[in-house]
Amino acid sequence: MAIDRSRIGLNRIIYPGLGLEDFFKLAAELDIHKVELRNDLPNVGIIDGHMPAEVKAFSDTYGVQIITINALQHFNLGSRLQSRVDELRDLVSLAADIECEALVLCPHNDVNDTRSAEACFQETVAALKAFAPIFEDSGLMGYVEPLGFQESSLSSLVTAVQAIQASGCQQYKIVYDTFHHHLGPDTPQTVENEYDVAYTGLIHISGIESEIPSTAFRDEHRILVGAADKLKTREQVQKLVALGYTGAISFEPFADVVHHMSLEEIKAAIQASIGYLLEE
């Protein structure tokens, strides 16, 4: 099944050294019209100190839609729930001001987390219930992103959907990250038979070509997607599309080898990766 190029997006982590307007310009020059912003880039805020009206002007000038802000971290850590609610209110306020559609919610991910699986699940549900009025009042979506690392408190797509269902809120969907799915507990059969793709709000894509065991894969190994990709990202995306996914597919490579490319090199690399991804 063919994937239309209009579904491709760029997460700002792909080239974090660019200022915000230049990032929008880069996307437009690549004929990409969906971007994700971040709250974890060094030395800059989410919108680089610009006023929200300026950011909306950038969006209009370059024809770019802000689809998410990444991310509310540790969202399901019960001991920090009030601070998570407070930060979420601030993020939602900014997102509304810049006409961003959704916020990404990342679970607690710590080797020192001693909570049981059941406690993690219950605190995930409790957090989603606590956040629900904020999302419902704003109309924004919350995108829950399972992290596949062994120490993650929420690594399964299926478990994440169960938590969303238990919250009783309709404003949540899932970020399916091809890197985290590769590391996590869900098999291709699980995705096909137990995961409801209708819950998917966004796909994050990256590739890994490093000759290291998959248990050692970390964000710093994530590059653009190509033929040598050990995550089989293209196949993962094709499977989700075949199952009915119709949303955005956003590049999220964290590796320094990508970040240190020249502007012309990164443009060429992104174009090549899109070409590979969209091949049938």
**All domains in the chain, ordered by first residue:** 5-278 (3.20.20.150)
Return the sign of the alpha-carbon dihedral for residues 142, 147, 148, 152.
negative
- Please list the residues that pair with 207 across neighbouring strands: 223
pLDDT, average across residues 211-228:
95
The percent of residues in the chain predicted with pLDDT above 70, rounded, is 99
pLDDT value of residue 5: 95
Whether 11 and 203 have beta carbons less than 8 Å apart is answered as: no
pLDDT value of residue 2: 80
User: Average pLDDT, whole number, for the chain?
Assistant: 97
The rounded distance, in Å, linking the Cα atoms of 174 and 157 is 8
pLDDT, average across residues 57-78:
98
- 94: Cβ contacts below 8 Å, ≥ 6 apart: 46, 47, 52, 69, 100
Q: Which of 241, 274, 247 is nearest to 2 (CA)?
A: 241
pLDDT value of residue 280: 60
Q: Which of 221, 180, 183, 175 is nearest to 202 (CA)?
A: 175
Query: Phi, psi (5° rounding) for residue 71?
Result: -165, 160
Whether 49 and 94 have beta carbons less than 8 Å apart is answered as: no
Whether 16 and 41 have beta carbons less than 8 Å apart is answered as: yes
Q: Is the pLDDT of residue 155 over 90?
A: yes
The confidence band for 1, taking pLDDT boundaries of 50, 70 and 90, is low
Q: What is the pTM of this model?
A: 0.97
The confidence band for 279, taking pLDDT boundaries of 50, 70 and 90, is confident
